[in-house]
Structure formats: C-alpha cells, structure tokens
C-alpha cells in the first residue's frame, strides 16, 4: 500500500521489495536506521520481542515492537547487502548514505556497505551524552554510530558544508515516537549533509523522524515501513508537519 502527497511519498511494505520498484538514480541520499539485530547472543535471545531487548522495564508508556530484528551476523550481512545494493542503485552519483548501527554490528555493517557498492567514507558518532545508564566496572555505552558512504566520489564544491564528526544529543530529547527512535534534532544535524531541494530516502522510516527533518530542511522524502502501527504514526506526523508549514 502506498500513500502519496507532496512533498513526501511513503510506502507500507517490506523495504527490499519496495526498493526494487523504485527508479534508478531517483534520490539524492539514503539516511536510515535499520534494525540492528544486536539484542542477544543466541537465536532464542534474538527472537525475543524488541521491547524486551531494548526497553527499560520501568518505561511508563511502552511503544509497539518493531519487526526484522532477529538475524545473526551472517544473516544480517546477507540481508543488509541486498537492501544497501538497491539503495545504491536508486541513489544518484555522488549521493550520500548514512546508516545507523551500534558497536556490536558496526564491522558487519561496514562490510555490507562495501559489498553493496558504496564507497565507505567514514564513521559519524552519535554521542548520547549522559542519556545512557552507567554500568559498574565498565565504560558507559555512550555512543552509537553511522556508517557513511557515497555512490562514487562526492562533489564537495556543489555543497561545501563543514560538519562535525561527533554529534552530542541526548537520546530522550523531544520524546520518542518509536522504541529506538532518534531525536529530531539529531536527524536535523545529519540532514545538513544534503542540499535543500534534495530527495532523501529512508527504507526503515519507523515513525518518520528522518522525514520530519527532511521536510524542515526543504527536502523531499521517500519512506518505507512494514509495521502497520508505525506506518500510521508516520502518516500522521508527516501530514501534521505539512499542515503546520502551511499555517
């Protein structure tokens, strides 16, 4: 099922299947937060509901679970290589890729990005500041990462921005619309890599925070989500953002 309205197009369905139907070189950037598949070391642990794996037991308002978070590292590599290859195909030459991941799956994601044909440009660090639990006798798990790539060389003259490589943003800033949703302000910082007027694709849009940031930056958005509940949240948030812009 597809829901269309300017300045965004969103699809309800499996990311890989939807991506295969998108036109070659039709977007300027892919900025996405796929399932990390890092919550558990055994098959039984990985198959547990995401709310049990990633959410503190004291959370007052639990959000719906999300799908696709059950693969081991080899399965993740095979799966991610496929959707990343489709993203590469639909991205214009010189376009950017930013894919969130955690420390456990970071090496696997960097492999998948390169297998799919992207030029690996580096790692961007999301510093969650003091928004993560301290652990006795261990370093605080304070960072998540974005694997940054491009479809071929980047034309730095076309959009000569200078951006930091570490982005400090509290994970609860602005509240959450998704179990592992990212703050709007973080996504707005990331969208700075893309010029206004560009088209941004997120094949795992969740509650559409990437889309909200894209619309605020004067960009078009294409999103995909397989969960009915989060798709409905995305529809309401994106239409609400468009309505506010018209006031």
Q: How many DSSP H helices and E strands does the chain contain?
A: 8, 9
Please give the full DSSP string across 142-206, using - where no structure is assigned: -EEEEEEEESSS--TTTS-----SEEE--TTTT--SSTTPPPHHHHHHHGGGS-TT-EEEETT-T
pLDDT by residue for the chain (247 residues), tens only, comes to 555 546 999 999 999 999 999 999 999 999 999 998 775 555 555 555 555 555 654 445 577 665 666 678 899 999 999 999 999 999 999 999 999 999 999 999 999 999 999 999 999 999 999 888 888 999 988 999 999 999 999 999 999 999 999 999 998 866 676 555 699 999 999 999 999 999 999 999 999 999 999 999 999 999 999 999 899 999 999 999 999 888 7
Residue range of the domain that includes 202: 2-246
- Is the sign of the CA dihedral 215, 217, 219, 222 positive or negative? negative
Grouping H, G, I as helix, E, B as strand and the rest as coil, residue 224 is strand
By residue count, the chain amounts to 247
What is the predicted pLDDT for the residue at 178?
54
Total number of domains in the chain: 1
- What is the strand order of the sheet 8-12 is part of? 2-5, 8-12, 220-225, 199-202, 27-32, 91-101, 143-150, 119-127, 166-168
The whole-angstrom separation of Cα 160 and Cα 156 is: 5
pLDDT of residue 58: 47
What Cα–Cα distance (Å) separates residue 76 from each residue in 36, 43, 119, 190?
8, 13, 19, 24
CATH number at residue 84: 3.40.50.150
């Amino acid at each position: 099922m597809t829901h269309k309205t300017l300045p965004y197009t969103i699809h309800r369905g499996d990311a890989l299947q939807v991506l295969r139907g998108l036109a070659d070189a039709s977007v300027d950037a892919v900025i996405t937060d796929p399932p990390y598949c890092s919550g558990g070391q055994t098959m039984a642990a990985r198959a547990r509901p995401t709310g049990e794996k990633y959410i503190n037991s004291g959370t007052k308002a639990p959000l719906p679970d999300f799908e696709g978070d059950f693969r081991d590292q080899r399965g993740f590599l095979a799966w991610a290589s496929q959707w990343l290859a489709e993203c590469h195909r639909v991205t214009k030459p010189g376009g950017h890729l930013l894919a969130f991941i955690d420390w456990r799956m970071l090496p696997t994601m960097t492999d998948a990005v390169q297998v799919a044909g992207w030029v690996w440009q580096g790692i961007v660090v999301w510093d969650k500041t003091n928004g993560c639990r301290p652990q006795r006798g261990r370093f605080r798990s304070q960072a998540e990462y974005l694997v940054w790539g491009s479809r071929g060389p980047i034309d730095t003259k076309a959009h000569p921005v200078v951006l930091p490589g570490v982005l400090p943003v509290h994970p609860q800033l602005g509240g959450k619309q998704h179990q592992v949703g990212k703050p709007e302000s973080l996504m707005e910082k990331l969208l700075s890599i893309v010029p206004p007027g560009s088209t941004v694709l997120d094949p795992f849009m969740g509650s559409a925070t990437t889309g909200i940031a894209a619309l605020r930056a004067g960009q078009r958005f294409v999103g995909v989500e397989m969960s009915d509940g989060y798709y409905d949240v995305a529809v309401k948030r994106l239409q609400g953002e468009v309505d506010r812009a018209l006031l």
